[in-house]
Structure 1
Amino acid sequence: MSMPEARDYDVCVAVNYYTPYVSGLTEVARTVAEGLADRGWRVAVVAARHDPALPLREQIRGVDVYRCPVVASISRGLVSPSFAATVRRVARRSRVLNLHLPMLEAGLITARRLPTPVVSTYHIDLWLPPSLVTRAAMAAVKISSRMALRRSAAVVVNSDDQAEHSQLWPVLRQARRSAISAPCVDRRGGEPAYRQSSGPHIGFLGRIVPDKGLEYLIAAFAGITDPQARLLVGGDYLTVAGGSVIDQVRQAAQRDPRIQILGLLRGRQIDDFYASIDAFALPSIAESFGIVQVEAMMCGIPSVTTDLPGGRYPVLATGMGAIVQPRDPVGLRDALLDVLGWDDVTRAHGAKTARELFGAEGCLDRYAAVFLEQSEAAATARG
């Protein structure tokens, strides 16, 4: 990225949680940051230090990572007094600031004018398990995100389906908006290391948290009577923000030994996971896109997901799966049994379409174009 003004960074990415934390939002921020760094961009990431064992400053795959100390946490929210100021400080040294919303501090970060254009990526309306505290937190985050979106030079959403059904659609509708799907990795080539029988294998991969709807998947799987069938549940439950539902999953696995808990998977383990399953399930009750389901599709594995704005979009765009109502174990079971019977030709066609639509390189091209456009416009405005 070559521009007339001298800045330390081409882009500053601001996100509450960053790697090694794993979530869909975090993975978008990480993949964009590292992908642009691989292309020669100078990239900084500012995040809260969600784990006190992590260093305050380090470089990861060519990305300068600044972490801000955390003094407390409220549900999934991290209280980091220095976060907003650090974002603004690094942003001033950057040509573009990319905010990943929802974010409680976003309104404060953008409250005073920055010499750097802001591109906000709006992932999803915040959902937390209901309580008095979480309702207040969701309201505060909504107000803050609305303020930041109004002050953004450009806004990225995962899909128009997601944006048009958001609580913040009145703001998103008026924004200079680009629909750029989350970057998804082609994970073909794994070994079926987790396959355990000759029966159908259904997989779930994601954070083991309430909004993923695992209780409905467990109930759906209980309705599949094949003794050789398996349900493989992969994902983090030890360090997830806001608490895990692993106890429920463990109790189900004790009742039904066909359910296998794999824990957090990384790298080659994820490739092997997809190579081990015949159908993917994403039974979420809150979802903005679902990178994991798309990566399954790209490997030829159809996904059964719930009818949620944004989360249903990959299936609608590719035809590579089925859509069911949230909280409907019977519908989920029937849809899984249906896609398990799909032939190789249907799977291969859907996989090709998914790779064409959602590959990481295409996503990076579109993010780079948005960042360049805003950086050039800001430089021109400054004369």
Structure 2
Amino acid sequence: MNDYDLCVAVNYYTPYVSGLTEVARVVAEGMAARGRRVAVVACRHDPALPPVERLNGVDVYRVPVLTTIGRGLVSPAFPRTVRRIARRSRVLHLHLPMLEAAAIAARSPVPVVSTYHIDLWLPPGPVNRAAMAAARRSAALTLRWSDAVVVNSEDQAEHSELWRVLRRTDRRAIAAPCADRRGGEPRYRDSGGLHIGFLGRIVPDKGLPYLLAAFDGVEDPDARLLIGGDYTTVAGGSVIEEIRAAADRDPRIRILGLLGGQEIDDFYRSIDVFALPSVAESFGIVQAEAMMCGIPSVTTDLPGGRHPVRATGHGRIVPVGDPVALRAALLETATWDAERRKAGAARARELFGVAGCLDRYAALFDELTGSTAVRSREMEASA
């Protein structure tokens, strides 16, 4: 008998916060809450974390990190630890991009589900170019060797740099699980003016300089820009100094730091419109959660990242790196009335709620573990 129904492999796991990490956590904990035996294997990104612990019904195994290269964690023990736990499991769930994924998938003793979150994007530089090329090659091989591949949306898949591989996989579109954040208090609202909110990692990917430029053109002295998210433990470096410099020039900008639990609910209750000005994005859990609270989102025209707005109509899509268009869309959507917000929220909750996501993942895991078909993998790198 297997020790686990599901083995999840992910480089970063809670308490690290990112969209990818949150999907891994919510699916793992959701499966455990439904009575499944779940293990997570992750890198020990913070040496203070215990090597083994049980979190919310999930057995978490953390593997030592030798060093880091940009966002990447170098952990020679990670692939073999994943394979060891996978042998004791019924199905293996990989979260990509992950440099080690191909080595893991090629020798997996059980069916593999790969969730392909995003084409890896790193700031310009020779080391980052090499890292992206290696991660892209690993992802391409892993996708070929996976029994099923999950993407956030067909829009994300069809515009991916790996579409030629993705189009030949057993592909399932399962949107990232998004929490219902209704019921908060407006604790971060301190004026009667327009309140624009951003929530996420304070990193280059999120395009925050464009949001700062857009807000600079908002003339209302009672307007506020609320920026929440982690900038102390983010992989690859933060842009917090640029945000602080803008806040020093404009006291209407509020830097809230990392928010969690009730604080996130209160954040959404405090804003009129949500901004996600990313230069790289595959979905944007935070914007979908804002929509579920009735808050329209203004996001950039990126495959996958624009999907929540396209699917619900609850927001606007603007060109990447265009603060003028971003400001115009924020001002326009902020005027939407209560009925329009209520209808958008209902659509978002129907499409992106946690329960529906877990139902689809559970059905996929059951489909694979219930099959008696023998997996066949092409091991040639040119396959």
- In the other structure, the counterpart of 1:334 is 328
Q: What count of residue pairs does the alignment treat as equivalent?
A: 375
- In the other structure, the counterpart of 2:91 is 96
Letter in 1 for 2:8: V
Residues 1:310 and 2:304 are matched in the alignment: yes
Deviations 1:131-178 (A, max 9, x none): 000000000000011111110000000000000000111111000000
- In the other structure, the counterpart of 1:153 is 147
Deviations 1:327-356 (A, max 9, x none): 000000000000011000000000000000
Residues 1:218 and 2:212 are matched in the alignment: yes
- In the other structure, the counterpart of 2:133 is 139
CA distance in 2, matches of 1:284, 1:146: 24
Q: After superposition, where does 1:357-376 map in structure 2 within 5 Å?
A: 357-376=351-370
CA drift of 1:111 comes to 2.5
Q: After superposition, where does 1:56-135 map in structure 2 within 5 Å?
A: 56-112=51-107, 114-135=108-129
CA distance in 2, matches of 1:312, 1:90: 37
Pairwise CA RMSD: 0.8
- Normalising by structure 1, we get a TM-score of 0.97
Unmatched 5+ stretches in structure 2: 376-383
Q: After superposition, where does 1:254-293 map in structure 2 within 5 Å?
A: 254-293=248-287
Letter in 2 for 1:211: D
Q: Structure 1 segments of 4 or more deviating over 2 A?
A: 379-382
Residues 1:39 and 2:34 are matched in the alignment: yes
> 3-state DSSP class of the match of 2:54?
strand
CA drift of 1:115 comes to 2.3
- In the other structure, the counterpart of 2:10 is 15
Unmatched 5+ stretches in structure 1: 1-5
- In the other structure, the counterpart of 2:378 is none
> 3-state DSSP class of the match of 1:9?
coil
> 3-state DSSP class of the match of 2:106?
coil
> 3-state DSSP class of the match of 2:21?
helix
> 3-state DSSP class of the match of 1:174?
coil
> 3-state DSSP class of the match of 1:243?
coil
User: Which of 20, 23, 28 is equivalent to 1:28?
Assistant: 23
CA distance in 2, matches of 1:109, 1:33: 19
Aligned residues with identical type, % of pairs:
72
Letter in 2 for 1:164: E
CA drift of 1:380 comes to 5.5
Deviations 1:278-305 (A, max 9, x none): 0000000000000000000000000000
- In the other structure, the counterpart of 1:186 is 180
CA distance in 2, matches of 1:150, 1:89: 22
Letter in 2 for 1:163: A
Deviations 1:355-381 (A, max 9, x none): 00000000000000111101111x454
Deviations 1:80-125 (A, max 9, x none): 110000001101111000000000000111223x320000000000
- In the other structure, the counterpart of 1:3 is none
CA distance in 1, matches of 2:30, 2:182: 19
Letter in 2 for 1:30: R
Deviations 1:57-83 (A, max 9, x none): 000000000000001000100001100
Letter in 1 for 2:109: P
CA distance in 1, matches of 2:100, 2:313: 38
CA distance in 1, matches of 2:194, 2:46: 38
Residues 1:294 and 2:257 are matched in the alignment: no
CA distance in 1, matches of 2:109, 2:267: 45
CA distance in 2, matches of 1:152, 1:376: 16
Inter-CA distance 173–380: structure 2 relative to 1 (3 Å threshold): closer
Residues 1:49 and 2:69 are matched in the alignment: no
- In the other structure, the counterpart of 1:233 is 227
Letter in 1 for 2:218: I
> 3-state DSSP class of the match of 1:130?
coil
- In the other structure, the counterpart of 2:163 is 169
> 3-state DSSP class of the match of 2:85?
helix
CA distance in 1, matches of 2:101, 2:115: 11
CA distance in 2, matches of 1:272, 1:88: 41
- Normalising by structure 2, we get a TM-score of 0.97
Deviations 1:233-260 (A, max 9, x none): 0000000000000000000000000000
> 3-state DSSP class of the match of 1:335?
helix
